Amino acid sequence: MDTKIERKKRFPFQVVLGSVLGCIGLLWMVFRDTSSSMNVDKDSVTIAAVREDEFNDYIRVVGQVIPDHIIYLDAIEGGRVEERPVEEGAQVKAGDVILRLSNPLLNIGILQSEADLAYQENELRNTRLNMEQEHLRLRQERITLNKELVRKERRSGQYERLYRKELVSREDYLQAREDYRAALEQLGVVDERIRQDSLLRDNQLQSLNENIRNMKKSLVLVRKRLENLNVKAPVDGQLGNVQAQVGQSISQGERIGQIITPELKVEARIDEHYVERIVPGLRARFEREGKSYDMVMAKVYPEVQNGQFRTDLHFVADRPGNILAGQTCHIDLQLGDPTQAVIIPRGSFYQTGGGGYVYVVDKDGTVAHRRPIRIGRQNPLYYEILDGLHSGEKVIISGYDLFGKNERLNLR
């Protein structure tokens, strides 16, 4: 007869242990740190403190000293270079002769103009003489006609009285009266000729006088052209880029040099990122040999080339005495008034992520966590933090190229 074997019950401790291990595993799966991390040598990174301080809104730009004005010298008259009294690079005053030219054709033109003027003046004298003679002749003719008119008037009156007394014939009376009327009309004709001659005489003289005046003006201009053969400095400054040599032929309008004025300005090229903030009137500062010089933004050029736009800055009061055109200088350009802000020092971390995040170091300095931030303005020394950091925290400001996308850095 078979014996029935009863199944033994499992010990309760094993069940409890299995349950505990399962819960621990579940908790580990839920609460474990899933973020990526890497170990970093603490001495290989640069750590800086976040603080709230005054933020000075300025940028540093590189400028080049150039002349404020360059006056170009062009030959007003063409000719052959006879003399060069001033050498290139010399300081000149307004009116100093730089080149002396010769132009025989211009001299011939002056002689011809003078001859034409003399001829016209002689013609004017002859015309006046002829007019005066004609005027005198007409006056003499009038006197004669007037004398005849008086006689014929008297004779006509006598014949009229005699005719009434029937002492002369009617024919003699009518003839005497007709002679008187004819003499009267002739005198009227002479008077009209005199009047017309006076008008014509005045118009002719006025026209001739106007021609004489124009010829004299033309002669003055021609003589002035002769004076233009002496090329003179229009302003005070330094003579530069003179290419003309003695014996060389210079064409009219040809450029022969330039005058660099003593006034200087600084031309600076600024990144297009600031194009909307740069306006004329902004203040700037330039330091040289331990002394500071104030400047002002004078002009902003609208064209952007190769990511930069051009500006001109002028010295406000004085400028360094030993500064020369062509030298380079570093200028602090003030964009706004200083304000209180949360700031961090500038660092190469900005180039990696564009300033969109930083690694924030914990209090004990062993771990740094990646945190998104928002950067506002910047100057050569600091970034303005708009969001993401608080005063008193510490961040890594050196480059992030080796950190990849790790969210956590273990600082050892």
Residue with the larger pLDDT of the pair 128 and 350: 350
Which pLDDT band, with edges at 50, 70 and 90, does 35 fall under?
Answer: low
Residue 5 lies in a domain: no
Beta bridge partners of 315: 295
The enclosing domain of 404 has a CATH number of 2.40.420.20
Residue 40 lies in a domain: yes
Judgement on whether residues 132 and 223 belong to the same structural domain of the protein: yes
Residue 161 lies in a domain: yes
- Cα(279)–Cα(55) distance, rounded to whole angstroms? 21
Judgement on whether residues 151 and 43 belong to the same structural domain of the protein: no
Question: In the β-sheet with 51-55, what is the strand arrangement from edge to edge?
Answer: 51-55, 339-345, 382-387, 374-378
Taking 50 as the threshold, does the pLDDT of residue 33 lie above it? Answer: no
Residue 78 lies in a domain: yes
Judgement on whether residues 220 and 323 belong to the same structural domain of the protein: no
Of the candidates 312, 334, 356, which is a domain's last residue?
334
Judgement on whether residues 46 and 83 belong to the same structural domain of the protein: no
- Cα(74)–Cα(102) distance, rounded to whole angstroms? 16
- Cα(412)–Cα(408) distance, rounded to whole angstroms? 13
Full domain range(s) for residue 314: 58-68+263-334
Taking 80 as the threshold, does the pLDDT of residue 298 lie above it? Answer: yes
DSSP H or E run through 127: helix 104-164
- The mean pLDDT value for 294-305 works out to 91
Residue 17 CA: distances (Å) to CA of 11, 23, 65:
11, 10, 84
Which pLDDT band, with edges at 50, 70 and 90, does 19 fall under?
Answer: low
Judgement on whether residues 62 and 204 belong to the same structural domain of the protein: no
Judgement on whether residues 273 and 254 belong to the same structural domain of the protein: no
Taking 50 as the threshold, does the pLDDT of residue 28 lie above it? Answer: no
Residue 182 CA: distances (Å) to CA of 145, 146, 149, 185:
10, 12, 9, 5
| pLDDT score of 410 | 93
Residue 269 CA: distances (Å) to CA of 284, 312, 330:
14, 9, 11
- Written as one string, the DSSP assignment of 150-193 is HHHHHHHHHHHHHHHTT-S-HHHHHHHHHHHHHHHHHHHHHHHH
* pTM of the complete model: 0.53
The enclosing domain of 288 has a CATH number of 2.40.30.170
Judgement on whether residues 250 and 329 belong to the same structural domain of the protein: no
Token pair 């008193």 is found at 392
- The mean pLDDT value for 273-296 works out to 88
Judgement on whether residues 131 and 170 belong to the same structural domain of the protein: yes
| pLDDT score of 31 | 42
Q: Rounded mean pLDDT of the chain? A: 83
Counting beta carbons within 10 angstroms of the beta carbon of residue 11, is it exposed (0 to 12), middle (13 to 18) or buried (19 or more)? exposed
- Cα(30)–Cα(42) distance, rounded to whole angstroms? 31
Token pair 């009219």 is found at 252
Q: Which of 52-56, 248-252, 278-282, 340-344 has the lowest mean pLDDT?
A: 248-252
Which pLDDT band, with edges at 50, 70 and 90, does 1 fall under?
Answer: very low
C-alpha count within 13 angstroms, C-beta hemisphere, residue 407: 5
- The mean pLDDT value for 279-304 works out to 89
Which pLDDT band, with edges at 50, 70 and 90, does 409 fall under?
Answer: very high
Q: How many domains does the chain have?
A: 4
Residue 18 lies in a domain: no
pLDDT tens by residue, 330-375: 999 998 888 899 999 999 999 887 889 999 999 888 999 999 999 9
Residue with the larger pLDDT of the pair 106 and 184: 184
Residue 48 lies in a domain: yes
- Written as one string, the DSSP assignment of 302-327 is EEEETTEEEEEEEESS---TT--TT-
Q: Which tokens sit at 107?
A: 């001299």
Phi, psi of 126 (to 5 degrees): -65, -40
- Cα(333)–Cα(268) distance, rounded to whole angstroms? 10
pLDDT > 70 in the chain, percent: 92
| pLDDT score of 14 | 53
| pLDDT score of 18 | 53
Residue 123 lies in a domain: yes
Of the candidates 177, 209, 227, which is a domain's last residue?
227
Torsion of the alpha carbons at 387, 390, 393 and 394, rounded to the nearest 10: 30
Residue 376 CA: distances (Å) to CA of 308, 354, 373, 392, 400:
21, 12, 10, 19, 20
Judgement on whether residues 113 and 180 belong to the same structural domain of the protein: yes
- Is residue 273 within 8 A of residue 260, CB to CB? The reply is no
- Cα(268)–Cα(14) distance, rounded to whole angstroms? 82
The enclosing domain of 245 has a CATH number of 2.40.50.100
Judgement on whether residues 127 and 223 belong to the same structural domain of the protein: yes
Judgement on whether residues 198 and 49 belong to the same structural domain of the protein: no
Judgement on whether residues 124 and 222 belong to the same structural domain of the protein: yes
Residue 6 lies in a domain: no
| pLDDT score of 357 | 94
Q: Which tokens sit at 370?
A: 């990646």
- The mean pLDDT value for 3-29 works out to 49
pLDDT tens by residue, 72-102: 888 888 888 888 888 888 888 888 888 888 8
Which pLDDT band, with edges at 50, 70 and 90, does 292 fall under?
Answer: confident
